[in-house]
Structure 1
Amino acid sequence: MDLATTALLAASGLGAGLVNAIAGGGTFFTFSALIAAGLPPITANATSAVAVTPANLASAWAYRRELAANLRRFAALGAVSLAGGLLGAFILTTTDNAAFRLLVPWLLLFATLLFAASPQIVALARSIGKAEGKHPSRRAWIGGLTFQFLVATYGGFFGAGMGIVMLAALAITEGEDFHLINSAKHLCSTVIQLVAVVLFIAAGLVSWHETFIVGAASVIGGYAGVAFGRRLPAPVIRWLVIAVGALLTLYFFMR
């Protein structure tokens, strides 16, 4: 690996850790950089998932008190997230690179549109949570868990934009308490990512040299994001992610 490729991967990890700490969307940076480094699409996707796991675990650790206090409440969410993440990751391991390459621009387009519509999605999530209150009806609860299963399946398969869609699912089951929803989101995201990572590693889809470079840089970016986020508003970061996503979507559609 030449110096320019190493620098590109490190920069993508740094950028991913930074934007994930503020607004989410780091997958756009790492996935595209790994593709540019010459990895096949499926390997790039799996390697990206493994590389950003340490930084995401650190974010989940920040909510350890809320998670410990609500473990029983979150049990069903964790179970469906585990099942969905496992299914999505399994589908990826059984997909060939040619088929996945055809899906990539559509997946990027979907994720970009999610980021663009995130204010509306968050507003919808809050309105649903407010309507259901602290104790949602059985029908709403089952609907929320089903929605979460679908989100987890998508997350295990690709993952970009997963957190935004997850807000809507969690608002149905957890009400409108922001900290409760955010802690549940970190728990579910961590479960989905960990089960996917285990499957990717077992299937031999991970390129470890690139993983270490991107992973180390993403941890640094995650720490920097906390301080940097206080100076730069989250909407600015979100629109940067949208712009990158739009350019990548156009690029992959034209390939």
Structure 2
Amino acid sequence: MDVLTIAFLFVAGLLAGAINAIAGGGTFLTFGAYTLAGLPPISASASSAVSQFPGYVTSTLAYWSDLKKIWRSALVLALVSMFGAAAGAFILVSLDNAQFRVLVPWLLLAATAVFAAGPYLKPAPRPQDATPSSGADWKSPVVQFFTAIYGGFFQAGMGIIMLATLGLTVRGEYHRLNSIKNLLSNVISLVAILVFVSGGIVAWTYALSAMPGVALGGYGGVWIAKRVPQAYVRALVVVIGLLLSAYYFISM
């Protein structure tokens, strides 16, 4: 891999980290950058999961004070997420690139649609504690299991989907739900990465080229978030998602 490719992936990671900090959706950039750099789609998806992981960790640490109060209620969801993520990651590893390539434009299009609808899917703030709602304890783990399967298979749009499903099945105000979402994103990502590494599908040089950019972009994104309207960044991510979807539809 030449210096220009490394620089390209670093910049893509930088932008992805900033976009994640402002509005989410940075996975679209890293996945797209890896495919443009020549990685096959399965390796691009796995490498993107690796490069995005530091951002999940830092976002969870930012909510640490909230998580300390609700970790017991999140534990069951975390355990369920482990099994779901493993299932989704193993499904990805079992496919070949030709099979996955057929799915990619549809996955990107669906993730883009979910991302565009994100502001309408966010749960309304409620004053109750962030614990499973009474009489529906079974719903939250079941729904989370299927969400984790998607996250283990293809992470684009995972956070928006998870926040929406948690809002339907778990009590709590927005920031507490978001803290649970960030924790579960770590679990799903870590399990998926372990499966991807064992399957030998991570392109480490590519992933490590983008990872410092993701970390720096996430830090700088907080500063940008205070000055750039989130709607503009969200529109940019939607355009990127649509362009990537069109690219894969045309190249199928």
Query: What TM-score, normalized by structure 2, do the two folds share?
Result: 0.94
Moved over 4 A (4+): 129-135
Percent identical among aligned pairs is 46
Secondary structure at 2:226's aligned position in 1? coil
- Paired amino acid for 1:203: G
Q: How far does the alpha carbon of each residue in 1:193-248 deviate from its partner, in whole angstroms, 9 at most, with x for none?
A: 01001111111111111111110111010011010110001111111100110111
Tell me if the contact between 2:73 and 2:131 (Cα under 8 Å) persists in the aligned partners: no
State the Cα distance separating 1:133 from its structure 2 match.
Answer: 9.0
CA distance in structure 2 between the partners assigned to 1:236 and 1:153 by the alignment: 30
Q: 1:131: how far off?
A: 10
CA contact (8 A) 2:70 2:131 kept: no
AA aligned opposite 1:190: N
Distance 2:224 2:38 in 1: 31
1:58 is the counterpart of 2:58: yes
Superposed displacement of residue 64, structure 1: 1.3
Find the residue that maps to 2:133 and give its secondary structure.
Answer: coil
* Cα deviation digits, residues 72-107 of structure 1 (max 9, x gap): 111111111111111111111111111001011001
Specify whether residues 135 and 197 from structure 1 end up closer, same or farther in structure 2 by C-alpha distance, changes over 3 A only: closer
Distance change (3 Å), C-alpha of 1:132 and 1:211 = closer
Deviation at 1:130? 8.1
Q: CA RMSD in A?
A: 1.8
SS state of the match for residue 71, structure 1? Answer: helix
2:127 is equivalent to residue 137 of structure 1: no
User: Aligned residue for 2:231?
Assistant: 235
Corresponding residue for residue 16 of structure 1: 16
What is the Cα deviation at residue 121 of structure 1? 1.3
1:156 matches 2:156: no
Contact kept? 2:66, 2:179, Cα under 8 Å = yes
- Separation in 2 of the partners of 1:85 and 1:143? 18
Q: Structure 2: how far apart are the matches of 1:179 and 1:10?
A: 30
2:129 and 2:54 map into 1 onto residues whose CA distance is 35
Q: Which amino acid aligns with 1:147?
A: V
Q: CA deviation at 1:135?
A: 6.0
- Provide the C-alpha distance between the structure 1 equivalents of 2:24 and 2:232, rounded to a whole number of angstroms: 12
Q: Secondary structure at the match of 2:138?
A: helix
Alignment CA distance shift 1:132-1:182 (3 Å): closer
Asked whether the equivalents of residues 16 and 26 of structure 2 are also in contact (C-alpha less than 8 Å), the reply is yes
Residues 18, 223 of structure 1: 8 Å contact kept: yes
Asked whether the equivalents of residues 43 and 202 of structure 2 are also in contact (C-alpha less than 8 Å), the reply is yes
Equivalent in the alignment of 2:39? 39
Q: Which amino acid aligns with 2:46?
A: A
Matches within 5 A, 1:2-13: 2-13=2-13
* 1:101-116 correspondence to structure 2 within 5 Å: 101-116=101-116
Separation in 2 of the partners of 1:202 and 1:57?
Answer: 22
How far residue 55 of structure 1 moved from its aligned partner, in angstroms, is 2.0
Whether the 8 Å contact between 1:136 and 1:175 is mirrored in structure 2 is yes
One-letter amino acid of the counterpart of residue 66, structure 2 = E
Report deviation, 1:137: 2.9
Q: Deviations over 1:169-205 (max 9, x none)?
A: 2123332411210110011111000100111111111
- Cα pair distance change 1:134/1:35, threshold 3 Å: closer
**One-letter identity of the residue aligned with 1:187:** L
One of 143, 164, 176 as aligned partner of 1:180:
176
Unaligned runs of 5+ in 1: none
